């Protein structure tokens, strides 16, 4: 898009304002069309969420129809014996049957205009709609999940609180996060109550109520730090010597414990190795996130729906797209008939034109959405086929060492797509193979050169690094320097800082934190 503009330069002197010069400037700007923006958004949506997105579009745009729903509706109408419009041969009219000029004008456009004047918004609710026996139908109760906050609020009844203190306690519980920690300072809670509920309180009253809430289940809630959370849980346990030792370690030597400076702890508390092992076993069984047990997983996150399927057909991998990515969508015939009726009609007043503009907008929006869904299908298949061709040896054998170094740019060049488009396809998408279900990002990795000059995938190096750490002596874990030497002995030219980076990407702590007694 090309813009032209003028720039004016002024100076202020003792006599006023004078213009110095003016110039023309041309700028070339690139703007995305609404269709391109819609396609980019659809590309990012995984199969698990696509159906919900389509339902939203169907609800918002009456000009868009699902063929599956439409077929079900027609079948229901047939079974219920509802009146249907029949053709000359006794069959219901199909796509090639059009209403006459008079009937189309009367049934479609005029009816649409009448509904605009209706206070009910165009919908009529009556016994015919709901049915006479709907109230007698058995309704399956929905599963009720108790949230963490509801669970804590239910326990407030055990405290003998007046209405004012009860509201203060509710404010405190509302300040807990999903893990059970108190994320607001006492002074902030005092301010919240003063400005939000007009309750005058002080830090002492808030502290007293917090201490009472800390006695609720699950143990360890309503605290600010992990140290407080674990200590509260230990107080609920039988106070045997190992539990008392664990409490003393967390209370006085918490930093030494999390850094695994066990020698200092043993020296101060005069514990032998067996005693320290018992104490550590008690501590690691505590729950660092007591409220997380009540967390309800998102439906889309509780299981994986693959976007692609790859089958091995006698050594030839074959790709197919999940059928949920190819919904049967079409333009509403009723809205098409409205447009035809308007074009055939002779009398076109202002109200009709406004209605037709609305109809045309909905039709265009439906067409854009259908085209975007089709383009999404094509882009997904095109990109996945390129990944399949690039990593063909892996999809045939399932051997992870056969994975080649591959970056987004490689697939972008093969598909003639932009790197950002490939990134959107790879994001949150899964492929199901005979060897397991993989995230598409799994197949992307950088290259690392061996001593022989061969390029190998960094994923191969990470697998070897993981094996080395998994087989190490936990009493004397391997340092990053030692791991670097072992990898170099295997022929991988790698620096110590690269080993540290790969170890962090594998969520493996440093050697000191991997040490065990």
- Residue 52 has a pLDDT of 83
135: pLDDT confidence band, cut at 50, 70 and 90?
Answer: very low
pTM for this prediction? 0.53
In this structure, are strands 430-433 and 455-457 parallel, antiparallel, or unpaired?
A: unpaired
pLDDT at site 169: 93
- Report the SS3 class of residue 429: coil
Assess whether the previous peptide bond of 218 is cis (omega < 30° from 0).
yes
Across residues 273-283, what is the average pLDDT? 89
426-465: pLDDT as tens digits: 888 899 999 889 999 888 887 776 766 666 778 788 888 9
User: What mean pLDDT, rounded, does the chain reach?
Assistant: 77
Determine which helix (DSSP H) or strand (DSSP E) holds 497, and give its type and residue range.
helix 496-505
> Looking at residue 145, what is its pLDDT?
56
Written as one string, the DSSP assignment of 439-465 is EGGGG-B-EEEBTTS-EEEHHHHHHHH
- Region for residue 191 given its phi and psi (left: phi exceeds 0; alpha: psi -120 to 50; beta: otherwise): alpha
* Helices marked H in 94-177: 101-104, 110-117, 127-130, 148-154, 163-174
Tell which residue, 104, 74, 100, has the closest CA to residue 88. Answer: 100
Burial tier of 46 (Cβ tally within 10 Å: 0-12, 13-18, 19+): middle
Q: How far apart are CA 379 and CA 329, in angstroms?
A: 18
Query: Could you give the CA distance from residue 185 to residue 203 in angstroms, rounded to a whole number?
Result: 10
pLDDT at 458: 80
**Cβ neighbourhood burial of 393 (10 Å; 0-12, 13-18, 19+):** middle
Q: Which residues contact 385 (CB under 8 A, 6 or more apart)?
A: 319
Range with the poorest average pLDDT among 22-36, 229-243, 263-277: 22-36
Q: Who's near 14: CB < 8 A, 6+ residues apart?
A: none
What single string gives the DSSP state of each residue in 18-86?
EEEEEEEEEEE-----HHHHHHHHHHHS-HHHHHHHHHHHHHH-TTEEEHHHHHHHHHHHHHHT-----
**At residue 477, does pLDDT exceed 50?**
yes
Give pLDDT, residue 310: 93
For the stretch 82-96, pLDDT in tens is 333 333 344 433 333
Q: If DSSP codes are grouped into helix, strand and coil, which group holds residue 113?
A: helix
Distance from C-alpha of 340 to C-alpha of 328, rounded to nearest angstrom: 24
DSSP H or E stretch at residue 13: strand 2-13
Q: What's the pLDDT at 170? A: 92
Amino acid 319: pLDDT: 92
In this predicted structure, the answer to whether residue 383 has a pLDDT above a threshold of 70 is: yes
- Averaged pLDDT for residues 197-213: 93
Asked whether residue 282 carries a pLDDT value surpassing 80, the answer given is yes
In this structure, what token pair is assigned to residue 237?
């346990």
Residue 114 has pLDDT above 50, yes or no: no
Residue 109 backbone phi and psi in degrees, to 5: -70, -45
Over residues 150-174, the pLDDT tens digits come to: 899 999 888 888 999 999 999 999 9
Domains of the chain: 148-293 (no CATH), 308-443 (no CATH), 447-514 (1.10.10.60)
Distance of CA 297 to the CA centre of its chain: 12
- Overall average pLDDT of the 33-59 stretch: 78
Confidence of residue 415 (pLDDT cuts 50, 70, 90): very high
Which pLDDT band, with edges at 50, 70 and 90, does 208 fall under?
very high
What average pLDDT score do residues 485-512 get?
87
Residue 119 has pLDDT above 50, yes or no: no
């Amino acid at each position: 898009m090309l813009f032209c503009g003028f720039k004016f330069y002024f100076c202020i002197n003792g006599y006023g304002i004078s213009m110095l010069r003016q110039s023309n400037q041309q700028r070339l700007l690139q703007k995305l069309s609404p269709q391109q923006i819609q396609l980019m958004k659809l590309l990012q949506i995984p199969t698990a969420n696509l159906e919900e997105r389509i339902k939203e579009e169907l609800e918002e745009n009456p000009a868009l129809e699902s063929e599956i729903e439409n077929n079900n509706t027609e079948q229901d109408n047939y079974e219920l014996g509802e009146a249907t419009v029949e053709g000359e041969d006794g069959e219901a009219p199909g796509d090639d049957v059009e209403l006459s000029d008079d009937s189309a004008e009367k049934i479609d456009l005029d009816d649409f205009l009448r509904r605009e004047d209706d206070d009910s918004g165009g919908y009529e609710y009556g016994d015919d709609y709901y049915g006479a026996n709907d109230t007698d139908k058995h309704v399956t109760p929905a599963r009720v999940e108790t949230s963490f906050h509801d669970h804590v609020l239910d326990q407030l009844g055990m405290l003998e609180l007046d209405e004012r203190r009860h509201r203060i306690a509710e404010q405190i519980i509302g300040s807990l996060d999903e893990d059970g920690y108190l994320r607001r300072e006492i002074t902030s809670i005092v301010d919240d109550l003063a400005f939000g509920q007009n309750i005058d309180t002080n830090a002492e009253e808030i502290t007293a109520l917090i201490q009472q809430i800390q006695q609720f289940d699950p143990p360890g809630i309503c605290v600010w730090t992990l140290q407080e959370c674990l200590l509260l849980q230990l107080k609920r346990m039988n106070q045997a010597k190992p539990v008392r030792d664990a409490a003393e370690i967390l209370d006085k030597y918490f930093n030494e414990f999390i850094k695994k400076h066990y020698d200092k702890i043993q020296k101060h508390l005069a514990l032998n190795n067996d005693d320290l092992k018992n104490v550590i076993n008690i501590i690691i069984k505590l729950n660092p996130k007591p409220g997380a047990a009540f967390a309800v997983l998102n439906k889309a996150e509780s299981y994986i729906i693959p976007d692609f399927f790859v089958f091995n057909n006698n050594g030839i991998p074959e790709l197919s797209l999940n059928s949920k990515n190819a919904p049967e969508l079409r333009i509403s015939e009723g809205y098409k008939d409205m447009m035809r009726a308007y074009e055939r009609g002779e009398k076109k007043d202002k109200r009709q034109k406004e209605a037709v503009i609305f109809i045309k907008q909905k039709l265009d929006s439906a067409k854009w959405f259908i085209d975007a869904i089709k383009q999404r299908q094509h882009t997904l298949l095109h990109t996945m086929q390129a990944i399949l061709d690039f990593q063909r040896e892996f999809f045939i054998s399932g051997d992870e060492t056969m994975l080649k170094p591959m970056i987004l740019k490689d697939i972008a060049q093969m598909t003639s797509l932009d790197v950002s488009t490939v990134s959107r396809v790879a994001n949150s998408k899964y492929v199901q193979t005979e060897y397991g279900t993989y995230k598409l990002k799994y197949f992307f990795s950088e290259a690392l050169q061996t001593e022989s000059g061969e390029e190998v995938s960094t994923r191969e190096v990470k697998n070897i690094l993981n094996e080395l750490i998994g087989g190490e002596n936990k009493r004397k874990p391997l340092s990053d320097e030692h791991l670097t030497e072992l990898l170099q002995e295997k022929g991988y030219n790698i620096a110590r800082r690269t080993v540290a980076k790969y170890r962090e990407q594998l969520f493996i702590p440093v050697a000191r934190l991997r040490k065990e007694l």
